[in-house]
Every structure is written in C-alpha cells, then in structure tokens.
Amino acid sequence: MNIFKKIMASVVALTFGMCAVSSTVSASMNSTYRKGDVDGDGYVDNSDSAYLNNFLSGHIASPNDQVSQRLDVDLSGIIDQHDKAMLSNMISNGSNPVYLAYEDSSYGSGVPAQSSSAIYYRKYNATNGVLVATNGTYSLSPLNNISTSSIDEPEIMRSGTDYSNKGIVGLNFMKNGVGFAGTGIIIGSNKILTAAHCMFDTKFNFPAYNVTVDVYDGVGNTPNTYSAVNYHIPQAYYDASDYTPVNDYAIITVSTPFQDNYIMNLGVARDILKANQPSSVYVNTLDGTLSKLCVFVTGRWAQMWTEEGFLKSGYGNDIMNHDVINFSTWTYGGQSGGPAYVETEEEEKTVIAIQSGKTQTYSVGQRINTDVLHFAFNNPYL
C-alpha cells in the first residue's frame, strides 16, 4: 500500500512507511540600509531584536523583499537563530554602523507572504484517530498587528543538536489496521513537526492512530518511546483527493516535555537561494565542479541515516516556491516528516523544509514559511 501518489506523471510512488498582511514597518526606498536595522528606523537596538524574534515565533505577517533582507542579518539567505545571535552581539557591543546595498536579483530576495485569509486545521486524538470533540476544527487568522515593543521568544534552541540521537525522532502509527513508520522533528517542549501524509491518508481517508514517538539517546541505542496526545493537519491537506507536497505539514503533541537541547531550529529560506550560490555561513557541497549550499536530510531508515545534496529544480519546475523546496538529496522509506536542513561547520543545524516525497530526479519538502511558523509557534490550539 502506498502513501505517496502522483506529484506529476513522473513521480515514483513511495511506500506507506515513507512517510498578506503588510508589515507595520515600511522598508526604506533608499538603496542602502544599516546592517542590523531590521525595523528600518535607522538604529540598531532592542526593537530590531524584538522584530526578528516576532518573525521567528510566528507573530509577524509578510515582510517585503527589503525587510526580508534586513531580517537576514548575516546575509546567509536563511532567516534563523544565527541572525539573532549576530544581532544580539551587535546590540551588546555597540558596533560601528555598516551600510549595505539592497540586493537586486531576478530571483527576488523575499520570503513567502503569509496567507491573506484564515487557514483551517483539524485536530485528532493520536490514540484513536478521532477528531477531538472540542476545537476539532479551528482556524488561524492572518496577522494584522505586528509589535516591536516586546520580545517574544520562540521555542527553538540556541545551539546545534546532534541529528543522530536527539532532535530527530522516529514515529510509529497505525492506519486501517496496518502499522507504519515515519520521522519527526522536535520543535518545542512538547511539539513534533512532521509531514501531514504520515498522519492522514487523503486517498482512502484513513487517519493515523496509536501514534508513538521514539526518541534516541545515542547512536544505535534503544529509544525511549512516548505516546502522542494529539496531532494537527491543515484542512487543505485533508481536502486533497490525492497526495500533494503542498500543505504537507503537521504537528504532533506529547505529554512528556522534551529537554531544550532536543529542540531543533527552524529557519525561513529566502528566495535569493534560487541563485544556488555557495554559502559563507553553512556547509557547501560540490555539484560536479560547482560549489553549492549543502542540503542534508536525516530520517528513520535503518534507525537514523543522513544524506546530502543541494537545491535543485523539481516540483513546479522551480527550486522553491511559496510552499515547497526541491533538492537533490536522496531519501528513503520512513524518512517522511524528517528535516531537510543546512548546517554550519560547528554542526549547528537549521531546518528549512519537511521531507515529503521524491521522484527519480529530485526530492521535495514543505517549505518552512510564515504560515508554518504561525501554526507551530503562535497557535493557541496546540
């Protein structure tokens, strides 16, 4: 029985086990900006830190291209915790002003805009697969008010994690009497991000039940297993009549809290990465003789297995669009829901997509975008 259906005619089916609202801060129309001045007021101070924190914690709507570049303090092409660290250092040390030119790229330099209308979600009991009685369906409305007056810390780690044992977990679940396996990403004290198709089969309308989570405490060690409480999927994914990588994201909650050093860092890849240039921040790999940003995947295959590749044109004939990111990294059965990530030489990792599916020539993942951040970190129904 297959969980993956057609992405397009050339898609290779995988087994079931593989599983705008405008900103209140307007960008300056000048050709340059002060590095670290995220909110565009001419200063580098705590309001810039608050703005960046609010973006990463899902409390911000749709930054335009110039604001997106200012959020990307280290100009790595990915807005994440490394930008927070650099900005914090600049504020603490009172660094001399450095002015940078805004990018002029045919690829655009921004990030996906938040959806302009409410997004609906479904919440299921992870034990029996039944829609929960209270708030079983709910919506998250577009964000209208963006505050820079307070710092809202997201539930993500301040340093790297070891992919082989902590932040990446194995998932076990049943569908229609058959057992399957997948992968998840710890993103909060009780939250696991994964692929929606692991939790719900849209072709046969089979919800997952008896969902458990395997957390590894060392390479090859026997995992600790936890029972999941609930899981949430987008209504748009539920409504799909067949598999699609769009809206293929879900969150599982557990009752036993994870330690902080188990929590992985999410980052939003900017469209500028479509240029497929090497990174000065993250590890690169060779595509023939060309150096490109390396995209790693890790997931449940013979326990935890890591592969590496690079960004590549794929679903939608693009490297990335509003919803998905495509990469050459090979994936295996059971890795669905696992992270597609970049990492520094110090092995600090940033997840930029959730593994979804593959064809003969590329893999595809749900892009971490503003809608995913809102769902994960600014969701009162979790």
What would the two tokens of residue 49 be?
């830190």
The verdict on residue 237 lying in a domain is: yes
Instruction: Report CA-CA distances (Å) from 344 to 157, 160, 229, 282, 309.
Output: 15, 9, 34, 4, 15
- Give average pLDDT by consecutive 10-residue segment, the chain, 382 residues: 35 36 43 94 94 91 86 96 95 88 80 91 98 95 65 45 67 96 94 98 96 78 87 97 94 91 93 93 93 91 76 92 93 88 94 94 95 96 94
Q: Do 170 and 182 fall into the same domain?
A: yes
* pLDDT of the residue at 60: 79
Cα–Cα distance measured from residue 217 to residue 279, given in angstroms and rounded to the nearest whole number: 31
**Number of structural domains in the chain:** 3
Q: Do 235 and 326 fall into the same domain?
A: no
The verdict on residue 3 lying in a domain is: no
The verdict on residue 92 lying in a domain is: yes
Q: Is 283 in a helix, a strand, or coil?
A: coil
* pLDDT of the residue at 316: 86
Q: Do 132 and 52 fall into the same domain?
A: no
* pLDDT of the residue at 220: 55
Asked whether the beta carbons of 295 and 306 are under 8 A apart, the reply is: no
Of 57, 72, 101, which residue sits at a domain end? 101
The verdict on residue 108 lying in a domain is: no
* pLDDT of the residue at 6: 34
* pLDDT of the residue at 165: 55
List phi, psi (to 5°) of 296. -95, 150
Cα–Cα distance measured from residue 27 to residue 29, given in angstroms and rounded to the nearest whole number: 6
Q: Do 196 and 140 fall into the same domain?
A: yes
Asked whether the beta carbons of 83 and 197 are under 8 A apart, the reply is: no
Q: Do 276 and 325 fall into the same domain?
A: yes
Q: Do 203 and 238 fall into the same domain?
A: yes
* pLDDT of the residue at 166: 75
Asked whether the beta carbons of 160 and 169 are under 8 A apart, the reply is: no
Q: Do 93 and 222 fall into the same domain?
A: no
- Only one residue has tokens 């809608």, namely 371
Q: Do 72 and 149 fall into the same domain?
A: no
The verdict on residue 9 lying in a domain is: no
Report the CATH number that the domain containing residue 185 is assigned in CATH.
2.40.10.10
Cα–Cα distance measured from residue 18 to residue 40, given in angstroms and rounded to the nearest whole number: 44
**62 HSE (CA, 13 A, CB side):** 12
Cβ contacts of 290 within 8 Å, gap of 6 or more: none
Helix ranges restricted to H, 144-234: 196-199
Counting every residue written for the chain, the total comes to 382
Asked whether the beta carbons of 28 and 52 are under 8 A apart, the reply is: no
Of 47, 69, 101, which residue sits at a domain end? 101
Q: Do 139 and 256 fall into the same domain?
A: yes
The verdict on residue 247 lying in a domain is: yes
Q: Do 255 and 298 fall into the same domain?
A: no
Q: Is 76 in a helix, a strand, or coil?
A: coil
SS (H, E, C) 217-280: CCCCCCCEEEEEEEEEEEHHHHHCCCCCCCCCCEEEEECCCCCHHHCCEECEECHHHHHCCCCC
Q: Do 286 and 165 fall into the same domain?
A: no
Cα–Cα distance measured from residue 225 to residue 72, given in angstroms and rounded to the nearest whole number: 38
- Domain limits for position 280: 265-368
Report the CATH number that the domain containing residue 61 is assigned in CATH.
1.10.1330.10
The residue among 375, 327, 308 whose CA lies nearest residue 155 is: 375
- Only one residue has tokens 């669009």, namely 321
Q: Do 230 and 96 fall into the same domain?
A: no
Of 71, 101, 131, which residue sits at a domain end? 101
The verdict on residue 364 lying in a domain is: yes
The verdict on residue 110 lying in a domain is: no
Q: What is the pTM of this model?
A: 0.88
